[in-house]
Chains A and B, each alone.
Chain A
Amino acid sequence: AQSVTQLGSHVSVSEGALVLLRCNYSSSVPPYLFWYVQYPNQGLQLLLKYTTGATLVKGINGFEAEFKKSETSFHLTKPSAHMSDAAEYFCAVKAPKAGTALIFGKGTTLSVSS
């Protein structure tokens, strides 16, 4: 069985500040991990993913995440927040078997103030 816990349903930062969105997972098999972003009234857009290989993964819009197996974490970071980063962020896990569905966390709303 797999599950995802996103710590903090709301995160507020100032423009230019570090963004840190936390994600912890539980998985009985080596996980594939994803971060998706959802803007209002839009579908989910993939930010980045970890499958195998390098544990530090870089994604779009300056975001990156690091897979830490010992901590069962996959936190999302961005060095400097931009107003356009305000959105809902979802962490997700899936089994390595191709085609299996994503298991999502409950999401974290990121607010960015000027």
Chain B
Amino acid sequence: EAGVVQSPRYKIIEKKQPVAFWCNPISGHNTLYWYRQNLGQGPELLIRYENEEAVDDSQLPKDRFSAERLKGVDSTLKIQPAELGDSAVYLCASNPGTSGRPSTDTQYFGPGTRLTVL
């Protein structure tokens, strides 16, 4: 079984440029998460989807960040414009359950996209 796939693995951009990250969760996983991991810190949730609905986006900086999961499968996270402080690793994770259909509670993580903003 394929794991969570993310691309690109690395991205270097100049500040004020846009950037997008893509995530394909494990097949059949209904819940998808985007986390941001700053250097020397643990991951922090940005947004959580159940199928195509964003059920928790309270930590997403909505002035510059946006996300979508149009068909309830893969997802895209976008930053426009990027700032120096956005340099981090962006992790995608998935879980087979939803709040209405509990599962194992185990989240499966992709390898992440390391963003460097110059």
Contacts and interface: CB of A to CB of B under 8 A. Distances in A.
The 8 closest A-B pairs by CB, nearest first: A104-B42, A98-B102, A43-B109, A101-B45, A44-B109, A43-B111, A99-B99, A99-B31
The dominant DSSP class at the B interface is loop
B94 to A, nearest CB: 11
Contacts, number: 68
A45 B45 CA distance: 17
Residue of A43, A94, A104 with most chain B CB atoms under a 10 A cut-off: A43
Given A42-B111, A46-B106, A100-B99, 5 more contacts: A44-B93, A98-B98, A98-B99, A99-B97, A106-B42
A97 B100 CA distance: 9
Given A43-B112, A44-B91, A98-B103, A106 B48 contact: no
Interface of A: 4, 9, 32, 36, 41-46, 49, 51, 90, 92, 94, 97-102, 104-107
A107 B42 contact: yes
Contacts of B97: 98-99
A107 B41 contact: yes
A45 B4 CA distance: 12
